[in-house]
Amino acid sequence: MILSKKPKYQFAVFLILFFIINLIQSYYTRLLEDEAYYWVWSKNLAFGYFDHPPLVALWVKISSFFFEGELGVRFFSTISFSLMLIIIWKIIDTPKKQNFIWLYFLLVISMALLNVYGFITTPDTPLLLFVATFLYAYKLFLKNENSFNILFLGFSMTAMLYSKYHGVVVIFFIVLSNFSLLKNKKFWYAAIFGFVLFVPHLYWQYINDFPSIRYHLFERGNTSTYRIMDSVMHIVNQIAIVGLTFPVVYYAFFKQEIISKFDKSLQYLVYGFILFFFIASFSKRPQAQWTGVILIPLIILTFGYFLQHKKARKWLIILASIQFGIILVARLFLANENISPIKLETHIAQTWIPTLKEKTESKPIVFINSYRNASIYNFYTGIKTHSYNSLKGRKSQFDLLITEQEIQNKDVVVIGSKIEGYPIFTKKKKIHYAIDINNYQTFQNIQCIIPEKEMFLKPTEEKIIQFEFINTYNKTITFENVFFIGVFQAENNKILKKIPLSIKGLKPLKGKEKANFEAKFIVPELLFDENTTFRIAIQFYDLFEGYQGNKVKVIKAN
């Protein structure tokens, strides 16, 4: 009786129910590999990280104050999801909404991807909270441009950017929907306030040589040719993130009348994100979570339509009920591998981690090009790990951490799927091999800088080049078990050819010391084009060459 007479109690009951379900799910579901990676970040809080801004690490850190294990990674995510639901509800101002609280939570259930962020911790988790916060702040700002709303708007813009760089896209399409903002000095006050709050992250990027920008814009490989299936998959993703209810949800979105600047901004967000990442699919393989942000404006815009149209609401109830059943079963499968008909990512760690720990006798592990394996193994065993990232892989936060230093001069086991060693475990039908190295010594982060911007090379001729060797470490480094390699690369970092380099004047370098060395090599026969580059790389032991050298454009000499 209380629930039927007191709508505020209805909302509280539904909210608590969602929170409890997400809390239980967080506790019983093993970590995703990316979650373990963010857990590694949280052990070294900073204003930035290699792949993303810092809030996801803060989310994990806050969780760790209250719990250990999986809940120590996800607890605050369950809270932030609940806060997001409250904020979205406050944004909705449809008349008689208090009589349809159940419809609101049904809409939340009908957004398949949104439910995932109720219990996992990724950069999208804080992003969704602060997208909702930003929209709420923007709505308040449109009504009243007072000092509080100006500061609130600026703070929410910054919070989105501290969550994920996608926040820039959100701000862009909001401004595009209302160009008068660019003439509004109070909006600029909010933007300036937000910029000041974002300065610590920009400074972090500066002192670390802009690793995120360099990776996302220049080092991250794009597809060299357009693949129509990538664009098709992007469209499929827009269906998948909603789920079974997509026909009625998108229908309601298209039919809902736009009557205000705020409604227009929501419409621009949905169309804008879909179009923006459709264009991105021309050069990148799309991921469903890229457009997860649109689920928030979809809820806000379609709620009023479902409230007013009984037929559409009836179909929503039917499809959402079926989807709820599917989501419930999927959640049970995620949490318990014993009842799941297939191996899901949350089950995979336990298929190889105990085996590896036993076979390596709990020695430190160096994973080749796998920040995910290094992170998840460290989380579940507590054993020190490091990801040795080479040109065949990609850089990661492990290139900025001290994990390499922590295992120096120790007996370690190096693990990789493409190295020549003895087989040690199988993961996803891929055999991983091991090499035992005693007194492990590497210095991946030194720099070999060729000053010239371009090189003229003639095949088969002997070439001598000068380069600057920079010891970025605080200790003296020597060159045992070290090989200098010249690497020719094509578009998207594809390795064309690797050649040995003969180094003249090589000597130990003290901490932070710089020295000029001379490298000699025979130019190989290659099909040079405008994208061919050359760099100096270092290979430790029999492992792969790394990112030590800068890229220099190669021009074929006549």
Classify the C-alpha dihedral 278-283-288-294 as positive or negative.
negative
Distance of alpha carbon 371 from alpha carbon 388, whole angstroms: 8
**pLDDT on residue 222:** 59
Classify the C-alpha dihedral 508-514-518-522 as positive or negative.
positive
Give bridge partners of residue 509 from the DSSP assignment. 477
Distance of alpha carbon 289 from alpha carbon 294, whole angstroms: 10
The closest of 293, 319, 322 to 306, measured between CA atoms, is: 319
The closest of 368, 427, 419, 425 to 398, measured between CA atoms, is: 368
Distance of alpha carbon 370 from alpha carbon 397, whole angstroms: 11
Per-residue pLDDT of the chain (558 residues; tens, 9 = 90+): 445 557 778 999 999 999 999 999 999 999 999 999 999 999 999 999 999 999 999 999 999 999 999 999 999 999 999 999 999 999 999 888 999 999 999 999 999 999 999 999 999 999 999 999 999 999 999 999 999 999 999 999 999 999 999 999 999 999 999 999 999 999 999 999 999 999 999 999 999 999 998 888 777 655 557 889 999 999 999 999 999 999 999 999 999 999 999 999 999 999 999 999 999 998 888 899 999 999 999 999 999 999 999 999 999 999 999 999 999 999 999 999 999 999 999 999 999 999 999 999 999 999 999 999 999 999 999 999 999 999 989 999 999 999 999 999 999 999 999 999 999 999 999 999 999 999 999 999 999 999 999 999 999 999 999 999 999 999 999 998 999 999 999 887 889 999 999 999 888 999 999 999 999 999 998 878 888 999 999 999 989 999 999 999 999 887
Q: Which residue has the tokens 């709820």?
A: 324
Domain boundaries along the sequence of the chain? 2-208+223-335, 345-437, 447-556
Tokens standing for residue 104? 């609101």
Distance of alpha carbon 56 from alpha carbon 162, whole angstroms: 9
The closest of 396, 366, 359 to 384, measured between CA atoms, is: 366
String of DSSP letters for 239-252: HHTT-TTHHHHHHH
What crossing angle do the helices spanning 185-207 and 124-143 adopt, rounded to 10°?
A: 160
* Strand locations in 305-411 (E): 365-368, 385-388
**pLDDT on residue 284:** 85
The closest of 304, 307, 302, 299 to 131, measured between CA atoms, is: 299
Report the amino acid identity of residue 241.
I
| Cβ atoms of 468 and 448 closer than 8 Å | yes
Report the amino acid identity of residue 405.
Q
**pLDDT on residue 5:** 58
User: Backbone phi, then psi, for 375, in 5-degree steps?
Assistant: -75, -50
What crossing angle do the helices spanning 246-255 and 295-308 adopt, rounded to 10°?
A: 80
**pLDDT on residue 305:** 96
**pLDDT on residue 426:** 95
**pLDDT on residue 1:** 43
| Cβ atoms of 262 and 139 closer than 8 Å | yes
Residues 6+ apart with CB under 8 A from 351: 343, 427
**pLDDT on residue 521:** 96
User: Backbone phi, then psi, for 479, in 5-degree steps?
Assistant: -125, 35
Q: Which residue has the tokens 């959100």?
A: 170
Distance of alpha carbon 483 from alpha carbon 501, whole angstroms: 8
Name the pTM for this structure.
0.94
Q: Which burial class, exposed, middle or buried, applies to 239 when counting CB atoms under 10 A from its CB (0-12, 13-18, 19+)?
A: middle
Neighbours of 111 (CB within 10 A): 23
- For domain 447-556, which architecture applies? Sandwich (2.60)
Distance of alpha carbon 9 from alpha carbon 44, whole angstroms: 41
In a 3-state reduction of DSSP, which class is residue 467?
Answer: strand
Query: How far from 533 is each of 353, 367, 446, CA to CA, in Å?
Result: 39, 28, 20
In a 3-state reduction of DSSP, which class is residue 394?
Answer: coil
